[in-house]
Amino acid sequence: MTKTLKWLGGGIAAAMLLGLAGLFSGELAEAQPSGPPHRFAGTVTLDGEGAPAGTSVTAIVDGAECGSATVTANNATGSRYILDVPSTCAEAGDTVHFQVGGYDAAETGTYAAGTGSEVNLTAESMMEDPEPPGDDCPDDMTGMGDGMNGDGEG
């Protein structure tokens, strides 16, 4: 009987150890970091000029914001950004759209985890000035209207 109890006790202990190992391995699998990001960097132009330091640059993949950075500026390099797009937000081959200060940039990038790309961004904050309105009114208003003075009487 003692041999049986020892055997059962050893089996129970082994089962508990295996169960704990399973719990910890599941937690470790979840806690492991994702793959390396894709780093985008380059110059930033807004309305034809270097974007001011502190201007936001945002990466968007499939309509979701996938990273942001701010423009740095100095005399030697001009306006620049460095932005990492994490692998949890994109898959290989996804198109990465950019916004500069909330305005869509003309350029896009292609996501590939663990790599880097130089993408120089240009954005416009406003549309071109519309044509000034024409003067469709004649200079001489004589004879115009119905002869009424506004109160229904002539």
pLDDT of residue 126: 79
Q: How many domains does the chain have?
A: 1
Tokens of 51: 């974007």
Instruction: Indicate whether 147 belongs to any domain.
Output: no
pLDDT at 103: 98
Provide block-wise average pLDDT over 10 residues at a time, the chain (154 residues): 50 50 48 83 96 97 98 87 98 98 98 98 77 56 57 58
The answer to whether 44 and 71 are in contact (CB under 8 A) is yes
In a domain, 28, yes or no: no
pLDDT of residue 90: 98
Q: The domain that contains 93 carries what CATH number?
A: 2.60.40.10
H/E run at residue 26? helix 2-31
Q: Which pLDDT belongs to residue 25?
A: 47
- Helix/strand number for the chain, H first, E second: 1, 10
Residue 50 · residue 73 · CB < 8 Å: yes
pLDDT of residue 5: 43
